[in-house]
Structure 1
Amino acid sequence: MTYKIDTDVLGKVATQAVGMPLENGELVTRAIEALAGEYPDLIDRTPGRWVGSKAGGILGKVRFLYFSPREYIVIFGSPSGTQGFSGRYKHVQIHKFLIAGQIDWYDIESDDITCHTLLPGGHATMGKGQARGMTIHPGSWHIEYGRGAVATTLPFAMMDTLLVSLEFESVRRSAVEFAKLVKNRIPASR
């Protein structure tokens, strides 16, 4: 199965963003510009809206950059830090490319009882069906890329925000951002 996004290219983009200042959004702006440079037909350079996200107890800010039935790209992070459950995606492989901060994680069900650390410029992959405990340290931001049946991630991505936090506005904003990305991918009728 072929995909439009290449993980090696995302790794290169993440490395280019590492070291950029967090102030005034320069880090995120640089990452988006580099992604749009690599994928001009997929990534829109115009500023999008940050949306609050709480999934598996992990609370942060997400910026949607690309969404299709088989792939997505977002920038996710937390100025103050957060921790929780990664989710288990049986039909999607998740890649994280850290551009600032630190993420510590451990596999929940493997025999491995060690903690792993992701540092800026690093790349971690969570295979289909895997689940992790995670700590995202303050000031941590990453490019997240999902590959597979993307729609199957949405219940986990939305339910904590909707049913536990009762934060309807964030769910509404997420739906609006998804709709904009999908609309921009549909060719105009002639």
Structure 2
Amino acid sequence: MDLGTAKRPRIRSMSYQIDPNVLHRVAKQIAGLQLDGDELITRTVELLNGEYPDLVDAAPGRWVGSKAGGILGKVRFLHFSPREYLVIFGSPTGTQGFSGRYKHVDIHKFLIAGRIDSYDLESDDTAPLPPLLPGERTCLERGHARGLTIHPGSWHIEYGRGAVITTLPFAMVDTLLVSLEVESVRRSTVEFAKLVRRRLRR
């Protein structure tokens, strides 16, 4: 036996509970059904609960107002842990602004309705990125930033992977300090607390 090999420490890969490929499959299924309104969101949550019953509650959650980087919309929290989060985000009337720049988190988006246009802020290319259409996916890799236009009636599954806690200042500061919208921050805190309690009960 090679003692040098035997003594070499084993490197353990960090595992995650949610698979982006599963989320993409759900988004494609929802996009194919061409649902509208509450039925669109209800069916999406049902499918996500079917894939991750221990993480996503099938019961209707509460919508919370969110403004970050100028992007104003409605968010429903589905799962939150130190290394992953899962939400549904969208706007009935459309919105645009800054994606944020996350140095320790990758942000995956899976569109279930509408359209999202974007462009890379540092690219030498002045052309926009290909539009995100229902059933498609995109990923804002850590350290990158984009300008976004979310068209009216657009809704997507958003999955963050990494040091999730580092995203909270960007998500909260605009809502609290710029918009002075204390109630949205309060509601977000309540929803976070529910998810944490659910996680601790498992």
User: Is the structural similarity TM-score above 0.5?
Assistant: yes
Which letter maps to 2:191?
A: E
* Aligned-partner Cα distance in 2 for 1:94–1:68: 15
Per-residue CA deviations over 1:5-37 (Å, capped at 9, x if unaligned) read 0011000000111143223x0001111000000
Q: Quick one: which of 100, 108, 119 aligns to 1:106? A: 119
Secondary structure of the residue that 2:201 maps to in structure 1?
coil
Secondary structure of the residue that 2:172 maps to in structure 1?
helix
Corresponding residue of 1:37: 50
Q: Quick one: which of 163, 169, 187 aligns to 1:149? A: 163
Tell me, yes or no, if the aligned pair for 1:20 and 1:26 is still in contact at 8 Å. no
Q: Quick one: which of 106, 124, 142 aligns to 2:138? A: 124
1:67 Cα deviation (Å)? 0.4
Secondary structure of the residue that 2:65 maps to in structure 1?
strand
Percent identity, aligned pairs only, is: 72
Corresponding residue of 2:10: none
* Aligned-partner Cα distance in 1 for 2:200–2:176: 28
Unaligned runs of 5+ in 1: none
* Aligned-partner Cα distance in 2 for 1:46–1:114: 42
Corresponding residue of 1:158: 172
* Aligned-partner Cα distance in 1 for 2:83–2:21: 18
Unaligned runs of 5+ in 2: 1-13
Matches within 5 A, 1:50-69: 50-69=63-82
Bigger Rg, which one: 2
Tell me, yes or no, if the aligned pair for 1:66 and 1:181 is still in contact at 8 Å. yes
TM-score by length of 2: 0.91
Secondary structure of the residue that 1:36 maps to in structure 2?
helix
TM-score by length of 1: 0.96
Secondary structure of the residue that 2:149 maps to in structure 1?
strand
Matches within 5 A, 1:80-99: 80-99=93-112
